[in-house]
Amino acid sequence: MASDAHDHLHRPPDLLKGFESAEEDVPGIRGQATWFTVTAPVAILTGKPLPRMPDPPPRPPASRWRRLVRPPAARVSRQG
């Protein structure tokens, strides 16, 4: 995410719109916006260690079509 903000009055940052737009491609990312837009920046600006990053949102199951067309290397079993 990035913002083309100039300041908080004339061209304020609105990163939430970016997270909302990304939600379609990355389901669950909207729920992590606070970490990226508040929690991490506050830690950086105050010189504190970054808190643990939230786990990535779970991926939706691949469609049958996607499973059929993915390259052979991606079909390798990941069993121990």
Handedness of CA 27, 32, 36, 40 (dihedral sign): negative
In this predicted model, which residue has the larger pLDDT, 72 or 56?
A: 56
pLDDT digits 0-9 by tens, 4-37: 777 778 777 788 888 888 888 888 888 899 998 8
Cα distances from 71 to residues 1, 24, 43, in angstroms, run 30, 24, 41
- For the CA atoms of the chain, what is the radius of gyration? 18
pTM for the full predicted model:
0.59
